[in-house]
């Protein structure tokens, strides 16, 4: 999942079950509970990785 992609919970500015990622082009408007959970887990993983990268960048700047 890329940044800004919908987690199915409106995190990217879309509205709830109506999602702005691939589902928009396949005609699907509603995600199952399992799909929402999967998208949220993927989004959380992306955020965790981004947070680690930010911490590394801060640490690098502090050492410079």
Give me the mean pLDDT over the 24-33 stretch: 79
3-state secondary structure of 20: coil
Q: Where are the domains of the chain?
A: 32-63
pLDDT of residue 20: 54
The pTM score is 0.56
- Closest CA relative to residue 29, chosen from 39, 40, 21, 17: 17
| Proportion of the chain above pLDDT 90, given as a percent | 53
pLDDT of residue 28: 78
CB 49 within 8 A of CB 18: no
**Does residue 47 have a pLDDT over 60?**
yes
Q: How far apart, in whole angstroms, are the C-alpha atoms of residue 25 and residue 27? A: 6
């Amino acid at each position: 999942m890329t940044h800004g992609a919908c987690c199915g919970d409106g995190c990217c500015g879309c509205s709830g079950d109506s999602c702005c990622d691939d589902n928009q082009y396949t005609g699907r408007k509603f995600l199952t509970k399992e799909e929402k959970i999967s998208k949220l887990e993927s989004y959380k993983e992306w955020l965790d990785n981004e947070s680690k990268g930010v911490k590394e960048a801060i640490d690098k700047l502090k050492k410079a």
